[in-house]
Every structure is written in structure tokens, then in C-alpha cells.
Amino acid sequence: MSSATDTTETPVDVRAQAVDALPPAAAYIAGTYRTGSGGHHTHRDPATGEELRSWSLSGPGEVDDAVGAAIPAQREWQGLEPGQRRDALLALAETVAAHAQTLAALVSLEMGMPLRASEAGVLAAVDWFRHYAGYADKIEGAVPAVGSPSRTLDYTRYAPYGVVAAIIPWNGPAMALALKVAPALAAGNAVVLKPSELAPFSSLYFGSLVTIAGLPNGLVNVVAGGAEVGARLCANPAVAMISFTGGSVGGRAVAEAAAARHVPTVLELGGKSASLVFPDCNVDRTAKLAAILGVAQNSGQGCFLPTRLLAQRSIYERTVEAVVAAAAKFRLGSPFDPGTTMGPVVDERARERILDTIAAAERRGDGRLVHGGRRATGGGLAGGNFIEPTIFADVDPASPLARDEVFGPVLAIIAFDDEADAVEIANGTSFGLAGYIWTSDLGRAHRLADALQAGYVSVNGMAALPAAAPFGGWKASGHGVEGGRHGLEEYLRIKNVHVQW
């Protein structure tokens, strides 16, 4: 992949290539694009407001046909030898790698993520496919100690569910699809992938890569659309397992739909994760990183980003100053400009919702606005959905700003007295996705890692979803995991076979 700073491709070229690569229709079923029969949607470039597509999203007919096409494809897939599935998944990984530049550019075009971050996400997605390809021929059961070995054999074996629904959000679509499709296929399932209507293009393009890689037609079908398309998919009797990533409201609806049919789910939901900053870390460096991770990274539109910064009182003022100084240097701009550190938020609705959230927090006095807080329109940004990096200090830990997910470039800074106070504040939301500890005291790091109610804890850094490690939420952040062996097992059911003679 050429990097965004290559001189051979100007930023304009990359964007133009992405426009040329826009998929023609909102459904990809059994190896071909199909015009959607669902609701009309106009997709605008979040950075410019320019219309990219005005089209019909997938409708009920496409959803049903996608599931119908997946059924025979899954049988064919399951009938292959494990090594054949491994090789096919490796071929898919290499096909995605060969088309990484286009896939990354489509992500940046559809939802505004700076190209360098999109590229990193696509390369990580390739790694997830390679990782799970390696599991395809290593799925093995056990022989539990049951009965006399001279008269009995008891063994376990794993089976795929069949057709799996993978419902993903718009905020990092290439990664999100890999986190689900890679383990689901490695386990022997077929997948109907439902991307958000706000970021449909990369998933549809990915569907065509599955065909290019030579996997059976219908093994991965893509139906782009809104919540109603997801709901239709969840209700289809042939969908035997649902993996959902999204917000709490959608997650609850999916859980209810799944419960009605006794179908298992993985739910990866929202978060309000905290960075805990202690005086024994490199405070200035940490504050800068906290500003990048909590505000600039994907413009705050990330489930596990640390959108609360908790600093001990002795370093509190210094931390606030350093965060503001770092945020003042962020450069808002086109996702295709290599100098951009912060792109737009996903659409006009998100922009207005975030600005309303900021205004409400100010009105209520949830905290003291120390940086940003407005829409950014200068320097050619007026057509896009840009919001200034926004920092609130002295935030009341009990306030909505400290407890609710904003999903925008808004950081809440809170002072704490000691470890116990920090833990109480960090755990004081309904969420439990991630926690970040910044300290040079090893004992403190492990104590706090144990005390934080979160499925993912990072000390002095962030690993950004490696394929080999389980990632998942506690509490209202969901249940089930993605990554590693545990992530594979979400897509397998176990059978015990007891034989007597």
C-alpha cells in the first residue's frame, strides 16, 4: 500500500479513485451487486457535503435473498476440508491486502476518517483474516473422562451455527467487519453482513473481494441499510447467531429479537472509558496522548477511546493545560490531506447532536469549557461536519457529560484524590468497555487493572485491537468478545457425543 504521504499519488487522486470505486448498488448477494428495494438515502461526503450517492438501500427482499443465498454456500463451506477453508481465508486476506488502498480510501470517503487511520484499520483487518485463517484447521474437541474406557467413549466436537448475521456500525467499518467475518468464516459459518447506511461502501466493496478471492458465492452477502434492515435480518428464522456492534439502544433491540427466537448474540456496545493519570507518569506526554486518543482519534467516534480523563489533584492543572495545548495543535481538514489530524464527524445529524450535547453540558454546568465547543467552518471546512476539539475541565463525575457517551470530539477532565477515588469515578458509569492507566508504579498498575470494571485495560499505551487478544465489554458495554480463541468460540457450538458398547 502506498502511504498517504507518497508523492506519486496526490490526496486528490486518492479521493478520486475512491469515488470511481463506489459500489453501484446497496446489496451484494451471491457474488453480484443487486439494486436495493428499500428506503431512499442520499449519502454525502462528511468532509464536503457533496452528494456521493443517492440510492435505494437494501429492503426486505434483499435481506431474505441474502440469507437464502447464504444457506447453500454455508453447506458447501462446511463440507470443505479444514485446510481448504484455511487456504481460502488466507487468499481472502491477501485479496484484501491487494485492494487495501481502495478499501481504506472508501472508508475515508464514506465516514471521514483520516486516510492514514483508515489504512491502519484495513491493514489490521488483513491481520485479522490471516489470524483466523490459522484457526480454520485447528478446531478440535476433547475426550472428557466419562465412564469406563473399555465400554465408553465420550467426546466433544464443535459445529458452526450456519448463517450468522454480522451487524456493524459506521465508525470503523473495515475493522468492524473483519472482527466478525474472519472468526465466523473460520468457524465454518456463512455471513450476512449489514453495514450502516452511513458507511455502506467499504463493506459492499469487501463483498466483491470475497468473490475475487474465490470463496463460494453467497458465503458473504452484504445488505446495506438502516435499523429496519438489521431488524429484518435478526428476525429471519435461518439466522442462527447474531453478532452486533453498535449503540445501547440498537443492542437492546437486537438482544430482544434474538431472545424471541432463542438465538445467541455477541453484543459490542458503547463506552465512556477513562484514562487514569497519576503523578508518577510522564504527565506532559500522557496528556498529549490523552488528547489524541480522547478527542482527535476518529474525532472521538470510537467505542473504546478514553473520553474521560481523570487526573490526580497534584498534577491536575498541569494536565489540563497540556491537554488544551495539544488540542490547539490539531489540524482539522480533509481526510485525504496527509496533514489532517482530525476529520469531520460522520454526518450532519451527528454534528448537530454533538453540538447540542456540548451546549446542554454548558447550560447545566457539567464542567468548564476550556477549549473548542463550536462547529469549525474556517479554511474551507464550511461544507463539512467539522467540530472543534472540545475540552471540558472540572467535570462533575455525576453529570451526563461524565456518564453518557457523546461519540464526538469531546473530552471530560475530572480531578481525583487517590486511587480509591479514581476507581470509583472510573467505574461510575453504566458502561464497562475499557480503562487506561498511566503510571510507573507496577503495583498500582496491576491493582487498578484488577479494580476497573472493564473488559479491556491498557497500561501506559493502547494496543488497538490485536487479533490475538479478546476484546469485549462488561456491564452496558455488552457481552461476548472478539479476538483470539475466545472470539472464535463465539461462532461455534459444542456437541457432546456419548458412545457405549
Residue 271 touches ligand NAD, criterion: CB under 6 A: yes
Q: How far is the CB of 285 from ligand NAD (least distance, A)?
A: 27
Q: For ligand NAD, which residue of 48, 101, 189, 196 counts as binding (CB under 6 A)?
A: 196
Specify whether the backbone of 188 is left (phi greater than 0), alpha (psi in -120 to 50) or beta: left
CA dihedral 440, 446, 449, 452 (to 10 degrees): -100
Residue 454 touches ligand NAD, criterion: CB under 6 A: no
| Site pattern 215..234 for ligand NAD (x: CB under 6 A) | -----------xx--xx--x
Among positions 38-97, residues that touch ligand NAD (CB under 6 A) are none
Q: How far is the CB of 350 from ligand NAD (least distance, A)?
A: 8
Residue 193 touches ligand NAD, criterion: CB under 6 A: no
Q: Which of 232/371 has CB closer to ligand NAD?
A: 232
Contact 412, 395 (CB under 8 A): yes
Give the separation between CA 116 and CA 104, rounded to whole angstroms.
8
Q: For ligand NAD, which residue of 45, 127, 405, 490 counts as binding (CB under 6 A)?
A: 405
Q: Which of 62, 197, 303, 388 is catalytic?
A: 303
281 catalytically annotated: no
Q: Which residues contact 139 (CB under 8 A, 6 or more apart)?
A: 82, 158, 186, 187, 188, 488, 492
Contact 103, 17 (CB under 8 A): no
- Residue 306's φ and ψ, nearest 5 degrees, are -80, 90
Picking from 492, 461, 431, the residue whose alpha carbon sits closest to that of residue 248 is: 431
User: What value does the CA radius of gyration of the chain take, rounded to a whole number of Å?
Assistant: 23
| Site pattern 433..452 for ligand NAD (x: CB under 6 A) | x-------------------
Find the length of the chain. 501
Residue 409 touches ligand NAD, criterion: CB under 6 A: no
Stretch of 45-53, 101-109, 121-129, 239-247 contacting ligand NAD, by CB under 6 A: 239-247
352 catalytically annotated: no
Q: What is 469-496 written as a DSSP string?
A: S-B--EETTEES-BSHHHHHHTTEEEEE
Contact 95, 129 (CB under 8 A): no
Q: Which residue is nearest to ligand NAD (CB)?
A: 230
Q: Which three cell numbers stand for residue 61?
A: 427482499
Q: How far is the CB of 231 from ligand NAD (least distance, A)?
A: 4
Q: Which of 151/262 has CB closer to ligand NAD?
A: 262
Give the separation between CA 27 and CA 224, rounded to whole angstroms.
6
Stretch of 60-68, 263-271, 323-331, 359-367 contacting ligand NAD, by CB under 6 A: 263-271
Q: Which of 180, 197, 388, 489 is catalytic?
A: 180
- Residue 166's φ and ψ, nearest 5 degrees, are -115, 110
Q: Please report how the helices 60-79 and 227-235 are oriented relative to each other, as an axis angle in degrees rounded to 10.
A: 50
Q: Which of 268, 405, 489, 490 is catalytic?
A: 268
Q: How far is the CB of 5 from ligand NAD (least distance, A)?
A: 28
Residue 250 touches ligand NAD, criterion: CB under 6 A: yes
Q: How far is the CB of 318 from ligand NAD (least distance, A)?
A: 30
Residue 245 touches ligand NAD, criterion: CB under 6 A: yes
User: Binders of ligand NAD: how many residues, by CB under 6 A?
Assistant: 29
Q: Which of 252/331 has CB closer to ligand NAD?
A: 252
Q: Which three cell numbers stand for residue 46?
A: 462528511
CA dihedral 296, 300, 306, 309 (to 10 degrees): 70
Specify whether the backbone of 148 is left (phi greater than 0), alpha (psi in -120 to 50) or beta: beta
Residue 299 touches ligand NAD, criterion: CB under 6 A: no
Residue 384 touches ligand NAD, criterion: CB under 6 A: no
Q: Which of 119, 197, 405, 482 is catalytic?
A: 482
> Hey, is 323 helix, strand or coil?
helix
- Residue 429's φ and ψ, nearest 5 degrees, are -120, 170
Stretch of 82-90, 162-170, 258-266, 284-292 contacting ligand NAD, by CB under 6 A: 162-170
What is the residue whose three cell numbers read 472428557?
Answer: 144
Among positions 163-182, residues that touch ligand NAD (CB under 6 A) are 167-171
Give the separation between CA 223 and CA 66, rounded to whole angstroms.
7
268 catalytically annotated: yes
Give the separation between CA 490 and CA 303, rounded to whole angstroms.
20
Q: Which of 283/488 has CB closer to ligand NAD?
A: 488
Stretch of 64-72, 135-143, 265-273, 307-315 contacting ligand NAD, by CB under 6 A: 265-273
Q: For ligand NAD, which residue of 105, 187, 269, 358 counts as binding (CB under 6 A)?
A: 269
419 catalytically annotated: no
Q: What is 338-400 written as a DSSP string?
A: TT-SB---S-HHHHHHHHHHHHHHHHHTSSEEEE--SB--TTTTTTS--B--EEEES--TTSH
Q: How far is the CB of 181 from ligand NAD (least distance, A)?
A: 14
| Site pattern 300..339 for ligand NAD (x: CB under 6 A) | ---x------------------------------------
Residue 247 touches ligand NAD, criterion: CB under 6 A: yes
CA dihedral 321, 323, 325, 329 (to 10 degrees): -170
Active site residues: 180, 268, 303, 482
Binding stretches for ligand NAD (CB under 6 A): 167-171, 194, 196, 226-227, 230-231, 234, 245-247, 250, 253-254, 268-271, 303, 405, 407, 433, 473, 477-478
